[in-house]
Amino acid sequence: MTPDTEPSERSEGQAPGIPAPEASEAIGEAEQEMLAVLERELGDAVVEHASAFGNLVVRVRPDAWRRAAEVARDVLACNYLSFVAGIDWQPAPREGGDVGGESSAPVQPTETTFGAAGSAGRFQAFAHVESTDRKWGVTFKTDVDDTQPQVQSWVPVYPGADWHERECWEMYGFAFDGHPSLRHLYLPSEFEGHPLRKDFPLLARQVKPWPGLVDVEAMPGEGDEATTEPAGTETEGADA
C-alpha cells in the first residue's frame, strides 16, 4: 500500500498519507511453518493471525499468553526476546479534551484502529521473539482488559522480559501476573498515572504544578523588563 492509497482501500480511521500494515499480504513459507506449529500446540487459543511487512503476527487468548512464550522457546527454537510492550489503540484526545473536536495532531486517526491480527478492545500486550539458529521470528499480541489490565508475565520463560514488563506496567498500567518485582523503572514512586495511555493529560504541568518548578532570574544585561517577580510577592513601596 502506498501513501496515496484511495480512501476505500484504507483501514477505517487510517490517517490520509499514512500507509496501513499489509495485514492481508501473503504469508511466506517460513511463516506458514511457524503458524502450523502454533496452531498445533495452542489450538483454538490462536485467535487471529496476519502477515505485516513480512512478519508473522499472531494474536492469542490472554489465558494462553505464557504458553505461547513456552511454545516459541521450546518448539520454534526462538531463543532471543526482542521486546515486550503495550499499546493503547484509543485515538489521541482532541484539543480541549473533546475527542470529537479538532485534532491537535492531524496525522493521528480519529477512530480506533487495531492493526494486524485485530483486537477485542483498547489495550494489548505485544512481544517479539526470534530464533538465531533458524533465522525466523514471530510477533505475539494478546488482549488486555480495559478495567483490570492484567496479563501473564513472560519472565519465567524469558528472564529478559523483566525490565520490559516493568516499563509496560509503569507506562500503561498493565499488571504482569508472576513478575518477580514490578517496580518503577523511570518515574518517581509517587508519580500518578501512566504516561503512554492516550488519555494521560499532556498538559500535566498545568493540571498539577511540576515538582521543583522555580522562578528564573534574568541573565545579566537582559534589562529590567526581563525581571520577574515570584507569584504572590508584593512590590516594595507599592503602598506608598
157 within 8 A of 69, measured Cβ to Cβ? yes
Q: How many Å apart are CA 39 and CA 34, to the nearest integer?
A: 9
pLDDT range class, residue 5, cuts 50, 70, 90: very low
Predicted TM-score (pTM) of this structure: 0.71
160 within 8 A of 180, measured Cβ to Cβ? no
- Give tens-digit pLDDT for 110-159: 778 888 999 999 999 999 999 999 999 999 999 999 999 999 999 999 99
**Domains, the chain, ranges and CATH?**
7-193 (3.30.460.80)
Q: Is the pLDDT confidence value at 23 over 80?
A: no
Closest CA to 77 of 134, 33, 36, 119: 134
